[in-house]
Amino acid sequence: MEERERALKSLADGQSGVVSRIALTGATKRRLIEMGITPGTRVGVLKRAPLGDPIEILLRGFSLTIRGTDAEQIFVTEVRP
Amino acid sequence: MNITIALAGNPNSGKTTLFNALTGSNQYVGNWAGVTVERKEAVFDIGEDRATLVDLPGVYSLSPYSIEENITRHFIAQHQPDVVLNIVDATNLERNLYLTLQLMELERPVVVALNLMDELKRRGESIDCARLAKALGAPVVPISAKRRQGFDALFQAIHDQAHDPRTAYPARNYDASTRDALREIVEALGGFSSHSAFDIDEHFEHRDQNERDDDHSPRADHRHIGGYDDEGDVDYAPPTMWVALKLLEGDELLKETAQLSDSQRARIRAAVQAYVARGQQVHPGIDSLTMVVDARYRRIAELLREAGYRRREREISTSDKIDRVVTNRYLAFPIFLIVMGLMFAVTFGAPGTFLTGLTESLVGFIGDQASQGLAAIAAPEWIRSLVCDGVIAGVGGVLVFLPQILLIFLFMSVLEDSGYMARAAFITDRLLRKFGLSGRSFIPMLMGFGCTTTAIIAARGVENERDRRMTILLTPFMSCGARLPVYALFTAAFFPNNRALVVLSLYALGMLMMIVCGLVLRKTAFREGDSPFLMELPPYRVPHARSVLKRLWDRAKDFLTRAGTLIFAMSVLIWFLQSFTPGLQWTTDSATSIFGRIGAFIAPVFAPLGFGQWEKGVALMSGLVAKEAVVSTLQVLYSAGSSAQLTQAIAAHFTPLSAYAFLVFILLYVPCVAALAAARRELRSAKYFAMTVCIQLGVAYGVTFLVYQIGRLIVG
């Protein structure tokens, strides 16, 4: 059974998933994939700012902070705690 | 031999540290032609060679989307530096090597400086630099920029690349599918031109890794794509292979500037479609750009494997433990407020005021000495006035800011280097984004309550240009400390029982206008760019004294240079306007001076605001020199000997309503010349500067008009 896609933003702190698609366009998408957020990459949520946004994520051995509006458009599968 | 070295790397990779370590203090700082990004250059010797090191802006990739990226790519492709020195953060290899691959695609000789090797080892990881170099096709030298280690080997590698340049074929970094597509596009472009030193097959031939011929140094074939960049060089000609890659990625701009025939376009489109179809068998819905990016990352994984690098699972580090407290949901803001409070207390409280007082005494002493000296040699009165009232008072009035600016920068440097600044931006971003700012704007905005000039300079910490300009534009709405004497005078005269409330209402009005302007500008002139907010939370590090002091020194030097040039000229100009009549007669009566005449001329403009008398107009103009000068000007103009007399005079010349309207105008109109000069410099754009001034004047006039006219309806 294929696992359902979830927005990266919906992952709890400490959870990770494998990027399936990025529903963004233009420079925003380009910037995110060039930072290594390509399909098939494992991305985990490290922590959130006290007000819930931005979100610090971990991928390819480095961490990166992105805004919730962008994290909403990045979808992941194979969610693991 | 003279060699040019371009220094490129990711932000936070230690690029500035390496630049300073390599070049010492003999740097030249300017701006890139036509754009707003700092350009640093320095000359130093490598053996018998004279090297010019050009510090390129820190970038993550070479996409044509930001000014920084354009500068970096354009400089390497067009100015063809002899060596591209690429600094790579060894603790963040995958993302840093992404830039390395892109740099190598521009087909200039690259030297990779692998920084922070000591930290990599501390993590229990290792990498074989020789094997990485062989796989990559460029020398890789382990260094520590901070400890100045590995520089001899680095110089040797630069020397070798400069005298016997070797570049690897970029096509080899791609998988078979991508190479096929590239070959098809290169052939559609007409192949490599006949005079090329190497042929297309060699470019694509997939050789055994051991056979990789580093002894080959292809002279890259180039293709003209004039008009592709901001720079507008018509003869812009990056390598053909690079053009093919961009076409494969689907770069819209390049499709226009590459001047392709219809048949070429069709052939390229077919090649891209076939490529995407192959990719979609694995990842449905994937596009060619994502595939090319992914191919680079897969190549990086391969390179790291060949170099024997194994990434250790991320462990809970000291930084993570600190972050659990510092970015904790309940503790983050209290800690932030304590840090800010401390910064404020030191800068604008007793220690800062003490240093400012010291500087003031020094300026006063110099003024007295000059006055006495000029009297002793019987210099004419106007010369004494020019030197003392004009130059020394004007330049000195700005110089007194220096201690506070240095204190603020000491704090900012320490906070930045320690890693806390990034956390401050992290926790405040959500709040500030509502007003079109970002987390990075918080500290400058807060400092605006102390001194606008300092705050505008501090806005340098805001990396994104749009956010930085917004910050500079909005900071003056935070009521600065110099306006307090004016508030104190007027509230004493009119609102003795509600002084705190009235002053508080002004501060609140300023913040309200900041929010309103922020919201409006975000929807109009400063529309949210199509670029995501990306930030790194670097590991906490103990700040390096040398780099902190270096930055303080740079800042002081910069400030003093400005005080000696621009501020000097402005002071002389204002003195001239205050001391001469329109008939160029020397006068001590402000009413007859050019300033007084202008005041009289513009007074009717202020009539609808409730203060249409020339004295008030002149007072507002003197407020341009420094806000507190409004008080001293009124004192002179109303011939008030003591502050009690001045309070009486104010009470006689204003009504409570016009007094409040006057204060509102003081709060909102353009800041002092020192702040304006800083804004002009930091905005680095005449257009945005003009816009800033217009917005501030417009808002001040409009709001004061409303306050006075609505007030009149209510008061009757």
Instruction: Write the pLDDT tens digit of every residue in B467-515.
Output: 888 999 999 999 887 888 888 889 889 998 888 889 889 989 999 999 9
Co-location of B96 and B61 in the same domain: yes
pLDDT at B320: 87
CATH topology of domain A6-80: SH3 type barrels. (2.30.30)
pLDDT digits (tens, 9 = 90+) for A54-77: 999 999 888 889 989 899 999 999
Helix/strand/coil for B648: helix
Q: What is the pLDDT of chain B when averaged over all its residues?
A: 84
In percent, how much of chain B has pLDDT > 70?
Answer: 90
Q: What are phi and psi of B570, to 5 degrees?
A: -65, -40
**DSSP β-bridge partners for residue B84:** B6, B110
Whether pLDDT at B223 is above 70: no
Measured between beta carbons, the chain B residues lying within 8 angstroms of A54 are: 426, 429-430, 439, 533, 535
Whether pLDDT at B72 is above 70: yes
- Closest listed residue to residue B166, CA positions, set B108, B221, B210, B208: B108
Co-location of B42 and B135 in the same domain: yes
As a whole number of angstroms, the distance between CA B275 and CA B252 comes to: 17
Alpha-carbon distance A26 to nearest alpha carbon in chain B (angstroms): 7
Contact B289 A30 (CB under 8 A): yes
As a whole number of angstroms, the distance between CA A31 and CA A38 comes to: 11
Q: How many domains does chain B have?
A: 2
**Dihedral angle, C-alpha B320, A55, A78, B278, nearest 10 °:** -120
The whole-model pTM stands at 0.80
Average pLDDT value for residue range B247-255: 84
Kindly state whether residue B545 falls inside one of the protein's structural domains.
Answer: no
Kindly state whether residue B641 falls inside one of the protein's structural domains.
Answer: no
Whether pLDDT at B101 is above 90: yes
Kindly state whether residue B404 falls inside one of the protein's structural domains.
Answer: no
Whether pLDDT at A3 is above 50: yes
Q: Which H/E stretch holds residue B446?
A: helix B442-447
pLDDT digits (tens, 9 = 90+) for B351-393: 888 888 898 889 889 988 998 999 898 888 888 888 887 788 7
Extents of the domains making up chain A:
6-80
Measured between beta carbons, the chain A residues lying within 8 angstroms of B92 are: 61-62
Co-location of B139 and B6 in the same domain: yes
Co-location of B199 and B67 in the same domain: no
As a whole number of angstroms, the distance between CA B345 and CA B452 comes to: 17
As a whole number of angstroms, the distance between CA B424 and CA A50 comes to: 11
Sheet strands side by side (includes A6-7) = A6-7, A74-80, A16-22, A42-48, A55-59, A62-66, B534-535
Kindly state whether residue B574 falls inside one of the protein's structural domains.
Answer: no
As a whole number of angstroms, the distance between CA B484 and CA B663 comes to: 10
pLDDT at B298: 94
Which CATH number fits the domain that encloses residue B268? 1.10.287.1770
Quote the domain boundaries for residue B247: 171-306
pLDDT digits (tens, 9 = 90+) for B111-169: 999 999 888 888 888 999 999 998 998 999 999 998 899 999 999 999 999 998 888 87
Residue the block writes with tokens 């490529």 = B275
**DSSP β-bridge partners for residue B410:** none
For the ranges B47-51, B203-207, B680-684, the maximum mean pLDDT occurs at B47-51
- Closest listed residue to residue B6, CA positions, set B97, B95, B106: B106
Dmax over CA atoms of chain B, in Å, equals 94
Q: What is the pLDDT of chain A when averaged over all its residues?
A: 89
Q: Which H/E stretch holds residue B86?
A: strand B83-89
DSSP string, B577-591: HHHB-TT--B-S-GG
Measured between beta carbons, the chain A residues lying within 8 angstroms of B297 are: 36, 38, 41, 60
As a whole number of angstroms, the distance between CA B521 and CA B528 comes to: 10
Alpha-carbon distance B246 to nearest alpha carbon in chain A (angstroms): 13
Kindly state whether residue B72 falls inside one of the protein's structural domains.
Answer: yes
Give every CB contact of residue B243 below 8 A, 6+ residues apart in sequence: B189, B223, B225, B254, B258
Of A31, A61, A65, the CB nearest to B537: A65
